[in-house]
Chain A
Amino acid sequence: MTRAILALIARDLRLAGRVGGSGALSLVFFLMIVALVPFALGPDLNLLSRIGPAILWLAAVLSTLIGLDRLFQADEEDGSLELMSAAPVPLEGVVLAKVTAHWLTTGLPLALASPLFGLLVALDGTAMGATALTLLAGTPALSFIGAVGAALTASIRRGGLILAVLVLPLMIPSLIFGVSAAQAASGGTVPFLVPLAVLAALTLIAAVVGTLAAAAALRWPE
């Protein structure tokens, strides 16, 4: 079973790097949004560094949506999902493997690159580190929540927009606690660890509920 799950993760990572994969695309999209904000707001460094973590988090939420609509749809269309249902792995395992691969190609690069992009919004060192840490803890939740929407829209043509409408509201709690943790690190009355712990808890809840819900949606007959 572990071997099948590892094989799935390896395949999805390889596909992300090939033609038509969404490998570096979400990272580029992330950079685009973060780079646009200073142009829109003007060169007010104080303002930028105050709202910097919020901008990075918003950009992360939006770039998670890149490629999410194809997460299960591509496998549904070409019959790979049927192949996976014949594997000695429950569908929950398949979902877990695919979400892991999705996070490794979107969430993780975003978290690792966020200190660099923090320069664009004038973050100081502490805020950069804190934002990166909150993204690292929070983006898995975004992938898991997105997987539920992706599973529900797997058989709908051009379901990308419906997907965004479905999952964005569910990502709000992670967004709130991610941003408040990052801001707590650079001053404020709340200690950094409190919102970070809530964020981590949200991620764990999303991992359980998202896996089960996405598998149930894929199993839904017709």
Chain B
Amino acid sequence: MRLSVDNLACRRSGRRIFSGLAFAVGPGDALAVTGRNGAGKSSLLAILSGRLRPDAGRIDVAEVGEASLPECLHAVGHRDGLKSALTAGENLLFAQKLLGAPRLSPREALEQLGLGHAHDLPVGYLSAGQRRRVALARLLVCERPLWLLDEPTAALDTASQALLAGLMAAHRAGGGLVIAATHQALGLDGAAELRIESSVAPEPEHMEDWA
């Protein structure tokens, strides 16, 4: 798939977060979104995943058939979308049935992330890093071309970070796309960098309507 974004602007609660963003990614590409806290990295990912409406600009998707953008992507963010009362396996099986396009079975995906033993454990019993790895295992149970990762290495140890880098490399080698918001090097070789320079040093003209 190809994704191109032109002149994108975001406004939240009346405040301009960023404007004039433009980038394009194609098969095998990776994009690292950087910028200081509050610059709008997560807002950009929220716009791409369809949870937030852009203030201006256009997002074009090509080479995906009839699917809409939210149907071609996996989003892993701060809120992991896991139910504490269900086991890791049940959570992944649910995601697989909900999202469609199954690839690995939940057990295989968990084993790839070194969590095979957690398959039958309720997610509530897992540590923050283990929960994050269960959420990342979702990337493997369903086939989707675009991965949107928001601080994917948060709470991960070094071994798991290397594991994630390997998964992203394999995904890109298969023609997938990765867009990651991050403060750290993720091991994305040849990734383009999109730096969101925030327009807000609170200048009066940006504080206009707080409606």
Residues of A within 8 A of B (CB): 3-4, 6-8, 10-11, 14-15, 18-21, 77-80, 82-89, 221-222
Q: Are A84 and B83 in contact (CB under 8 A)?
A: no
Given contacts A78-B79, A85-B51, A221-B53, contact A11 B100 (CB under 8 A): no
**B residues 53-76 in Cβ contact with A at 8 Å:** 53, 67, 70-71, 73-75
* SS of B interface (majority): loop
Q: Are B97 and A82 in contact (CB under 8 A)?
A: no
CB-CB < 8 A to B53: which residues of A? 221
Residues of B within 8 A of A (CB): 12-13, 49-53, 67, 70-71, 73-75, 77-86, 90, 94-95, 97-100
- Closest 5 pairs (CB-CB, A-B): A79-B79, A7-B97, A18-B85, A79-B81, A83-B81
Not counting A4-B100, A88-B71, a sample of 17 additional A-B residue pairs whose C-beta atoms are within 8 angstroms of each other reads A6-B97, A7-B98, A8-B94, A14-B90, A15-B83, A18-B85, A78-B79, A78-B81, A78-B82, A78-B84, A80-B83, A82-B79, A82-B81, A85-B70, A86-B73, A88-B100, A221-B53
Q: Are B85 and A15 in contact (CB under 8 A)?
A: yes
Given contacts A82-B49, A85-B70, A222-B13, contact A11 B79 (CB under 8 A): no
CB-CB < 8 A to B50: which residues of A? 85-86
Residue of A nearest to B67 (CB): A88
Q: Say how far A172's CB is from chain B's closest CB, in angstroms.
A: 35
Report how far A78 CA is from B124 CA in the complex, Å.
12
CB-CB < 8 A to A89: which residues of B? 98
Given contacts A4-B100, A221-B52, contact A15 B71 (CB under 8 A): no
Residue of A nearest to B124 (CB): A19
Q: Identify which of A7, A18, A78 contacts B94 (C-beta below 8 A).
A: A7
CB-CB < 8 A to A10: which residues of B? 94
